[in-house]
Structure 1
């Protein structure tokens, strides 16, 4: 009985119109949270400096802070996000499309060749790409090797990002997803730029990037309280 119910739910989540409806519902809630809250941004000059170069760069943030990231990007330069092609990814893609954000379908896994080709194409076109380096399935807050390999290949800079809120709840999901409420105080924090260091190993580069994303995540939590 439980097994059949789960199968039915999976079928519902894969239905195109349900995904569109849920995407619209999420976008409405995100707008409500943003419009009824105070929003502060720290270190935005780092982003402005890179935008002026008119070159591609990657924005990295943990999967559990994905949705409200749409409000962290306040510049006219087009911003795209790498989102999973799974049902939940399609729902997120539908939601963020209401904020003018385009989706690159794929993940940061090393063996995802189709998304790698598309990312390389976007980098060559000087696009700005948002990536959750621990997505789409974890482990939580751990940078995937696929992203580090991409950075080695392209030498494109990474800007770490996090946001937090005064009123938030942690959901019981693999990524410990942060659920926020309206009438809140949000703080977005941009971190120090990261670029692949060829004098260090892949593992060392991975650790450096992880530490910086964790640092700005901790700062955003501290600032919002």
Structure 2
């Protein structure tokens, strides 16, 4: 069974099914931006950061940005699947983690930033702890000399899974709330974590009394 799910054709088929579902969700959902969109996000390359649980909403969070996006994903089977799904939405991805390929991934991100790409990093990825920001995003933003913009997105209708990151899967025909913070000044993991917690709480405000 493991060989079946590791087969390239199986991975491609699963990625296609996930992509089709997410496309259906995106075209049937109402997007509600509940903060001001930061000027650097509209102007050009930036580093976007959100908590790992909100990865499915990346195409929406990145929508205002005109630059090609390159995302850092885990060097794992799940990361390989995410990478194939991202391609369907015009997002490039490079694999890297603290344990496997991290240095290579960082170098690729910095080179891409210097060629005009925006970057996306989940500071609590790839295996947690959830909502504890590590140094990757802040270090990359500093080295790439790009504004680091925290963001959050939350589907009012969706399923929260009992995974390490409390992964949130959006349902079709719902509302997805999006919030952006201003570019960080101190570029520290603590500042980034505080900003992401505040933005996530903000987009969850209307779902406090709803069932997930």
Is 1:57 aligned with 2:46? Answer: yes
Query: Retained in 2: the 8 A contact 1:186–1:224?
Result: no
Aligned residue for 1:45, secondary structure, equals coil
Asked if 1:178 is matched to 2:171, the reply is no
- Counterparts of 1:23-102 in structure 2, within 5 Å, are 23-43=15-35, 45-46=37-38, 48-52=39-43, 54=44, 56-75=45-64, 76-102=66-92
Structure 2 gaps of 5+ residues are: none
Offset of 1:168 from its aligned partner?
A: 2.0
Scaled by the length of structure 1, the TM-score of the pair is 0.82
Distance 2:68 2:115 in 1: 12
- 1:52-74 Cα offsets, whole Å, 9 max, x none, are 2x4x3200011111012212222
User: Would you say how many aligned residue pairs link Structure 1 and Structure 2?
Assistant: 207
Mapped to 2, the partners of 1:104 and 1:110 lie a distance apart of 12
Distance 2:74 2:201 in 1: 26
Q: Does 1:220 align with 2:210?
A: no
**Correspondent of 2:12 among 16, 20, 45:** 20
Q: 1:50/1:213 Cα in 2 relative to 1: closer, same or farther (>3 Å)?
A: same
2:190 corresponds to 1:207: yes
TM-score by length of 2: 0.87
Alignment RMSD (CA, Å): 2.2
User: Cα 1:15–1:84, aligned 2, differ >3 Å: closer, same or farther?
Assistant: same
Which residue number in structure 2 is paired with residue 4 of structure 1? none
Q: CA deviation at 1:15?
A: 1.7
Shift of 1:105: 2.0
